[in-house]
Amino acid sequence: MNKPKCHLFCVAAVVATLALQNLFAVELFVAPDGDDAHDGKSIPAAFATIARARDEIRKMKSGGELPKGGVTVEILGGKYSLENSLEFSSADSGTKASPIVYRAYQNHPVEILGGRVLKLSEFAPVTDEKILSRLDPAARGKVVCAPIAKLGLKHAGPFPALFSDSGGIFELFWNGKRLPLSRWPNATDPKDWTTMKKAVVNGDVKNGGTFEYRDERPSRWLENHSVWLKGQWRVPWEDPAMRVATIDPNTHTITFAVGLASGIGNKYTRPLGNGKEPWCALNLMEEIDRPGEWAIDFDSQTLFFWPPSADGELIVSQLDQPMISINGAANLKFIGLTFEAALGDGINAVNADSVLIAGCTFRNLARRGVVLSGSHSGVQSCDIYDVGEGCIMISGGDKATLTPSGNFVVNNHLHHYAVLKAMYSAAVDVGYGGQNNAGKVPITAVGIRVANNLIHDAPRDAVLVSGQDNVFEYNEIFNCGFQSGDVGAFYSWLDWTIRGVIIRYNYIHDTVGGVNPDDGASGNLVYGNIFAGDRTGVWIASGPDHKIINNIFVKEEGPVFGMDDRGTARGYATNSHLLKGVAEIKPTQPPWSERFPEMATLLANHPELPVRTVFERNLIIMKTNQPFALKMSKERQADTNLFLAKDNWVTANDPGFVDAAKGNFSLKPNAVVFKKIPGFEKIPFEKMGLQTDEYRRSLPAAAGHQMQRPSGDKNFGT
């Protein structure tokens, strides 16, 4: 009996091997020690570059159809530096039956770099007495320098007079970690900012403002002619960096060389401001005071640097374009690759069709991990962190016809992002388009699914929401928004055409905001979510057609829900941006009149008010205060066409959680809530957050929960 079994096993093994060989009819290999003159058909004959493998596939296609089963480019472990974007067009497309796959060979660590390695031997000690006198005493004898031209580097500034991102200069990385650009005060937690004492001259778009500073530190910068300050000069959702014109140590005032449209000083307490406007100084050699810090002297074009140790790998980012650029390509897969040390995006895909980015890592980028538009494409099981802006920006579909894109963002770990551009740089941006896009760039987002992502540790929003028929489910979000205002775990803004958005089964905890449709944004179904923490909740800022049903709110004190009618005072009924959006969709004609019939009569029925808001069958666990904050007249509060609350249960006791003390908010089968709220449906807590799949074989350990956060503020509204 043993021999037949062995024979059958061997036959099965051969069949399986042949099946695997036929799965990809052609394999090409790329290796760091390869040669582009090779044929790429084996590891000993591997190409040296991914671009050469791409070109070889183009040659195959020019000679006929792709082989059945497609082509796999196996990329062996090692580092691959890009001087230019790796471009893929329609000429590089696969087919559904013959996809083209670029993947790390046998899960080898493949690092694609947008920078170059520098050696410490290329730097020299600082010996100029004038420079030494300007350095912090702790840095003298520790800081080394080198002329930018001698290093052969690009993107060495100067900064623009006004900017809100990286300012366009290169970055330094030591052993895979971003090194801090010199800053005062040093950035170690969210509290590390100084504040204005008062605004002296508010200024305007043409004239830079003047403010009085508190500390004597700016007197150390008088010999530096390139001083930029970054701050929340007017409101907590804007933090531009601006060039300084003059510093007067006698009057303790700083005057800017460039103006802001609305000037400086908190807009609610003009003209002096509130004395709490946070700011910091950037890129000053005088402020290099700890290992790892660096600065560029723009006048002399010299790089100053305090090495963290005597030995390590120093990489400087140089590529300011997307590392991979895809335009019009279809049926491509990028699997298991790491993208890092670049000034642009990791992957930027336009008009993509059936493009999958899976199991990849994006880190140490100045912009975003992935920007993706098109159809049936997505980002799955990737890790994106330490990026200068947001992690993923995704769009697609047709707004006029409500044609879904079928795009997706699933099972990604997105954290410690927006490190250079804090405002409106979200983990996932669905059709929003960045900071107050306000229709400047036409972006559509229809039929996109965002699910099972773990999002944490960022200065502002987790998810920016826009578009139609988009679903956000099973995500876990925490530690976001503590460095901004008007913020939300799910944030949308000034758009009555946001419709059919489903936000369900998400775990939102220990963060700022929950679901925050701001300034009239509309159309959310908020169902089956768990909101936990003193600054979470749902706030409706005068937007119509929101339904908040079957959620759990866990807070020490209320409110958990807020709503206002700001649209009346702010004139939303005649707001050109809101009206333009409605006109463009032709609301009285199909498909809009059929899919969203309320749009046909929206403009005739007080769209400036939060009409048809429903708060129903929600479980609220809190000890003190009231559950609702309704900032409207008593007449409007009582108008059930504006706000209908029913069948909710407020309790200070455990309603039947499995283990709330350990953060397990699953409900026991016999939980009392099911009796108190008839029809309350069990929320699938166990399905929220990251899951294992073919691209994510294990789950990360919990991280980020200990981030220091400002205390005392209980606001969760917009």
pLDDT one-digit tens code per residue, 370-385: 999 999 999 999 999 9
| Rounded distance between C-alpha atoms, residue 455 and residue 438, angstroms | 25
Which range, of 58-67, 69-78, 86-95, 219-228, averages the lowest pLDDT?
58-67
Which amino acid appears at position 644 of this protein?
A: L
First to last CA, the chain: 74
What pLDDT is attached to residue 257? 98
Which amino acid appears at position 558 of this protein?
A: G
Tokens of 249: 């140590």
| Rounded distance between C-alpha atoms, residue 11 and residue 206, angstroms | 80
Q: At 475, is the pLDDT very low, low, confident or very high (cuts 50, 70, 90)? A: very high
Mean pLDDT of 253-271: 96
CA dihedral (454, 527, 662, 655) in degrees, to 10, reads: 180
- Residue 456 CA, chain-centre distance (Å), reads 10
Q: Are β-strands 100-104 and 71-75 bridged in parallel, bridged antiparallel, or unpaired?
A: parallel
**Half-sphere exposure of 209 toward its Cβ, with a 13 Å CA cutoff?**
28
Q: Cβ distance 73 to 30 under 8 Å?
A: yes
Q: Cβ distance 656 to 670 under 8 Å?
A: yes
| Rounded distance between C-alpha atoms, residue 276 and residue 211, angstroms | 12
Q: Cβ distance 328 to 100 under 8 Å?
A: no
Using the CB atoms, write b or e for 585-600: b if 16+ within 10 Å: bebeeeebeeebebbe
Strand partners, 557: 624
| Rounded distance between C-alpha atoms, residue 514 and residue 488, angstroms | 5
**Half-sphere exposure of 21 toward its Cβ, with a 13 Å CA cutoff?**
6
What pLDDT is attached to residue 532? 97
Strand partners, 242: 162, 229
pLDDT in tens, 26-82: 999 999 999 999 999 999 999 999 999 999 999 999 988 899 999 999 999 999 999
> For 674, phi and psi rounded to 5 degrees?
-70, -20
What pLDDT is attached to residue 709? 58
Domain ranges of the chain: 25-114+326-339, 118-315, 368-687
pLDDT in tens, 139-161: 999 999 999 999 999 999 999 99
Q: Is the pLDDT of residue 556 over 50?
A: yes
> For 18, phi and psi rounded to 5 degrees?
-65, -40
- The answer to whether the predicted template modeling score (pTM) of the entire model surpasses 0.75 is yes
Q: At 393, is the pLDDT very low, low, confident or very high (cuts 50, 70, 90)? A: very high
Handedness of CA 117, 122, 128, 129 (dihedral sign): positive
Task: Count other C-beta atoms under 10 Å from residue 319's C-beta.
Answer: 24
Q: Mean pLDDT of all residues in the chain? A: 93
Q: At 187, is the pLDDT very low, low, confident or very high (cuts 50, 70, 90)? A: confident
What pLDDT is attached to residue 718? 84
CA dihedral (416, 420, 424, 428) in degrees, to 10, reads: -40
Name residue, tokens 């799949």. 693
Q: Is the pLDDT of residue 294 over 60?
A: yes
Burial class (CB in 10 A: 0-12, 13-18, 19+), 10: exposed
| Rounded distance between C-alpha atoms, residue 689 and residue 451, angstroms | 8
Q: Is the pLDDT of residue 207 over 80?
A: yes
Q: Cβ distance 666 to 685 under 8 Å?
A: yes
Which amino acid appears at position 113 of this protein?
A: L
For 290, the 3-state DSSP assignment is coil
pLDDT in tens, 510-538: 999 999 999 999 999 999 999 999 999 99
Q: Is the pLDDT of residue 641 over 70?
A: yes
What pLDDT is attached to residue 713? 83
> For 577, phi and psi rounded to 5 degrees?
-65, -45
Q: Cβ distance 517 to 584 under 8 Å?
A: no
Name residue, tokens 């879904």. 404
Task: Count other C-beta atoms under 10 Å from residue 476's C-beta.
Answer: 19
Burial class (CB in 10 A: 0-12, 13-18, 19+), 230: buried
Cα 211 to Cα 185, 215, 250, 253, 268: the distances in Å are 18, 12, 13, 5, 16
pLDDT in tens, 585-627: 999 999 999 999 999 999 999 999 999 999 999 999 999 999 9
pLDDT in tens, 310-360: 999 999 999 999 999 999 999 999 999 999 999 999 999 999 999 999 999
What pLDDT is attached to residue 702? 66
Q: Cβ distance 284 to 228 under 8 Å?
A: no
Cα 664 to Cα 263, 553, 684, 686: the distances in Å are 47, 14, 11, 9
For 559, the 3-state DSSP assignment is coil
What pLDDT is attached to residue 189? 57
| Rounded distance between C-alpha atoms, residue 80 and residue 48, angstroms | 9
What pLDDT is attached to residue 703? 53
Handedness of CA 278, 509, 559, 629 (dihedral sign): positive
Name residue, tokens 């502002």. 460
**Half-sphere exposure of 69 toward its Cβ, with a 13 Å CA cutoff?**
12
For 515, the 3-state DSSP assignment is strand
What pLDDT is attached to residue 302? 98
| Rounded distance between C-alpha atoms, residue 672 and residue 670, angstroms | 6
Q: Which helix (H) or strand (E) holds 352?
A: strand 347-358
Cα 674 to Cα 6, 527, 623, 644: the distances in Å are 57, 16, 20, 21
Beta strands in 652-694 (DSSP E): 657-659, 664-667
What pLDDT is attached to residue 63? 87
| Rounded distance between C-alpha atoms, residue 451 and residue 68, angstroms | 33
pLDDT in tens, 481-503: 999 988 999 999 999 999 999 99
Task: Count other C-beta atoms under 10 Å from residue 5's C-beta.
Answer: 9
Q: Cβ distance 406 to 375 under 8 Å?
A: yes
Strand partners, 493: 518
Name residue, tokens 């190409």. 47
